Amino acid sequence: MLTCKQASELISQGLDRELQWSERVGLRLHLMMCRPCSRYARQLNFIQSALRQHPERLDEAEALLSPPIPKERQKRLETRISKELRQ
Amino acid sequence: MIFFSSLRAPSDSTPTLEPKQWVARHGDILFRYTLGRVRNPDLAENLVQETFLSALKSLDGFSGNSSERTWLFGILKHKLMDHYRKSGREIPTDDPDSAVDPANALFTQRGHWAVGPVNWSDPEGALESEAFWQILSKCLSNLPKRLQACFQMWEVDGLDTQEVCKELSMTETNLWVSLHRARLKLRGCLESNWFQDTEEK
């Protein structure tokens, strides 16, 4: 019988690689009887699919952790791009 | 592919490109994202500039399936990859924090949850919230550096096993262990900062 600690490892690995038959059976048995681990599995699934389905939301949130672009850099970019657009 | 896209009728909802507005609309967000990745403002400005210039040359490549911003982000990420390939990523090879197993604090000696995960109410609703994504992003950036790099490359940037292992000089088994540790920490961080106190009665 798997412990929750072992089950949590398999739950994570099941998101990354194909589990072996024996691992799958052991994990399924454990999940049938263990509510916290079932929650853990659901939550990891949720995190993974959130990141896959909305990568742009994370990108923008990540950007906001850094300070805004300084005015002079913004201006330089502006100048460079409009020069390119005129050509 | 070309056949179908040429058949698609233009409509108001099809995103279009407006290069004149790029810097005003997306300059700030692209710069900040890049700065967070490369930590050098001059380099960040350069990469963003290259992104816009490349984008101008490949306007035809825009399919209208994504927003203008998502499309620009895609180009920027390629630029970042090229940069990493030339100069390497700044990921510490020695990172004691990443070597600590979070499971030690989360499970009892006998392998039970010390404090089990609580029920998350309305996770789908969280995805609609700007604040939720900011917390997720913050939780990611708070991971020990090697765990963060590994999780980001694998789950966010979509690198394959070989690429991640090579970048971080780790074995495949190491990779699974690191991802597991990253998820244990990330899940806990999301729970305590967003989903707390919603345990089902």
Last residue of a domain, one of B68, B87, B106: B87
Last residue of a domain, one of B87, B118, B147: B87
Tell me, yes or no, whether B104 and B172 share the same domain.
yes
pLDDT band (50, 70, 90) for residue B14: low
More reliable by pLDDT, B89 or B135? B135
Question: What ipTM describes this predicted complex?
Answer: 0.91
Q: To the nearest whole number, what is the mean pLDDT of chain B?
A: 88
pLDDT band (50, 70, 90) for residue B201: very low
For residue B110, the chain A residues in CB contact (below 8 A) are 3
**Nearest-angstrom CA–CA distance, B55 and B71:** 9
- Nearest to A80, CA basis, from B90, B19, B188: B19
Tell me, yes or no, whether B131 and B155 share the same domain.
yes
- Structural domain contains residue B163: yes
Q: How many domains does chain B have?
A: 2
Tell me, yes or no, whether B182 and B110 share the same domain.
yes
pLDDT score for B88: 76
pLDDT band (50, 70, 90) for residue B94: confident
- Structural domain contains residue B7: no
**Average pLDDT for residues B81-91, to the nearest whole number?**
83
On the question of pLDDT at B127 being above 90, the answer is yes
- pLDDT over 90 for what percent of chain B? 69
- pLDDT over 70 for what percent of chain B? 91
Helices (H) and strands (E) in chain B, counts: 12, 0
**Average pLDDT for residues A22-44, to the nearest whole number?**
97
What are the residue ranges of helices labelled H in B15-127?
22, 28-38, 41-57, 68-87, 96-99, 103-106, 123-126
Question: B107 by DSSP, 3-state: which?
Answer: strand
pLDDT band (50, 70, 90) for residue B200: very low
pLDDT score for B7: 44
**B70 lies in which domain range?**
15-87
As given in the structure block, the two tokens for residue B98 are: 């990443």
Q: What is the CATH number of the domain that holds B82?
A: 1.10.1740.10
The torsion angle over the Cα atoms of residues B17, B18, B21 and B25, rounded to 10 degrees, is -20
**Interchain CB distance below 8 Å, A3 and B111:** yes
The torsion angle over the Cα atoms of residues B164, B168, B171 and B177, rounded to 10 degrees, is -80
Domain limits of chain A? 4-86
Quickly list DSSP for B47-70.
HHHHHHHHHHHTGGG--SSS-HHH
On the question of pLDDT at B87 being above 70, the answer is yes
Nearest to A44 among B67, B103, B183 (CB): B183
- Structural domain contains residue B9: no
Convert the pLDDT of each residue in A58-81 to its tens digit: 999 999 999 999 999 999 999 999
- Nearest to B190, CA basis, from A25, A43, A13: A43
Mutate to test the interface with B, among A3, A4, A45, A76 (most CBs of B within 10 A): A4
For residue A81, the chain B residues in CB contact (below 8 A) are 19, 22-23, 49, 52-53, 56
On the question of pLDDT at A49 being above 90, the answer is yes
- Cβ atoms B63, B117 nearer than 8 A: no
Last residue of a domain, one of B33, B54, B87: B87
Tell me, yes or no, whether B141 and B172 share the same domain.
yes
**Nearest-angstrom CA–CA distance, B192 and B136:** 11
Q: What is the CATH number of the domain that holds B166?
A: 1.10.10.10
Convert the pLDDT of each residue in B27-60 to its tens digit: 999 999 999 999 999 999 999 999 999 999 999 8
- Structural domain contains residue B132: yes
pLDDT band (50, 70, 90) for residue B1: very low
Q: Which long-range contacts (CB under 8 A, 24 or more apart) does A15-22 make?
A: A15/A44, A15/A45, A15/A48, A15/B179, A16/B154, A16/B175, A16/B176, A16/B179, A17/B176
- Cβ atoms B135, B149 nearer than 8 A: no
Convert the pLDDT of each residue in B157-186 to its tens digit: 888 999 999 989 899 999 999 999 999 999
Tell me, yes or no, whether B172 and B109 share the same domain.
yes
**Interchain CB distance below 8 Å, B53 and A61:** no
